[in-house]
Amino acid sequence: MTLLLLCNRFPPVVDGVGDYTANLAQALQGKGVQVHIICRAQNSIDVPERISVHPIITSWNRKSRKKILDLSAEINPDWIGIQYVPTGFQRHGLPWGLSGLVRALKKSGHRIFTMFHEVRVRKHGIRSCLIGSAQHWIAQALCRYSDKTITSIELYARLLDSYREQTNVIPIGSNILPVPEEQTGKRSFPKQELVGCGPILCTFGDRYIRSLLQAVQQLLPDFPDLRLIVCGKNRTPVDRLQFPFAMPTGYLEPSEIEACLQASDLFILPDPVSANGHGGSSNKSGSLAAACAAGLPIIGTQGNLNNALLEHGKNIYLVGRPNADALKKAIKTLLDQPELRKTLGASSRRLHRKHLAWNVLAERYLDILNDNYTGHDSR
């Protein structure tokens, strides 16, 4: 089989969908698939072994359409796959021309599948209502011209099923490749100042970071050596004078992030959730997949994005809105119950091995394209 995948950015540019496409391509190539990728022109490209990358796009507009049509005719793939996120193909999240491109590819005789990493913004406020309505129209058009549609969680599948039936669900894998399981448990501390400390908590980014910092600070009387690794480049600076237990890392390479995960006892993913329950943790998150791959017990948030693979108390511990009190209570519960932490960690690793590993995801893509896949058990 020959596949042609379309995405906006590609490594080494920092882009979640670009990293996803690169990892998926390598996993598919390992199963004997010939993979081509069309992406935006960049100063440099990290080309995976035996993958053909074509950085021919200057802008996703009508001018790029002929380039894509000509190259797709030359490659003559069995399938063309759109790795779709609205802001990836237009910076304001309104890629009007993409539906025209997909329609033109379809008219040229190509079979199309679209992977919806996002569908549309939630409608609240005038601006988001206007953008969400436009994204609704674009998603509907992409579904109309696609032979197969795929997304990562059931909520998105239900949205897409209103445009076309039988949207397949495949969770998102980790862009941080895990160390082999036989090497886990051998702690490699990312910073000398963590040696001798513990328990060690880890989080990505600055989601609810103020609440998390307050929660950890309130736990220090019971756990004086408690530390929090804050991975990644944050918009909200962490004041180490005020919160000396916190260790903000700034930008990290994937291998360095993996070292942070391996050094940690507990992973906290305070995904946003509104007062009426919109949001929460789900398997559309590569961060969640990375923590599962590392075999960490995970604290997430409860909301309408929660999908059937995530089971509270079994492979994840869910809180309501992630304020300081809720996070403090959840962290203390898990720190006080090592057996529960052990159970959650082992279950999260099993979740990764069974549903989130790249070889599993590649196999599910192939099953869908060969009409052998009907979605996971919850569908």
> Which domains occur in the chain, in start order?
2-173+357-369 (3.40.50.2000), 181-355 (3.40.50.2000)
**Of 22, 13, 17, which is closest to residue 42 (Cα–Cα)?**
13
First to last CA, the chain: 27
Edge-to-edge strands, sheet with 200-204: 246-250, 227-231, 200-204, 266-268, 298-301, 317-319
**290-325 burial: b if 16+ Cβ within 10 Å, else e:** bbbbbbbbbbbbbbbbbbebbeeeebbbbbebbbbe
Q: Give the pLDDT mean for 104-126.
A: 88
**Tokens standing for residue 81:** 């796959």
For the chain, what is the mean pLDDT?
A: 91
Q: For residue 124, what pLDDT is reported?
A: 64
Task: Kindly report, residue by residue over 343-362, the tens digit of the pLDDT.
Answer: 999 999 999 999 999 999 99
Q: How far is it, in rounded angstroms, from Cα 272 to Cα 270?
A: 6
**Of 356, 276, 278, 363, which is closest to residue 316 (Cα–Cα)?**
356
Q: For residue 376, what pLDDT is reported?
A: 47
User: For the chain, what percent of residues have pLDDT higher than 90?
Assistant: 73
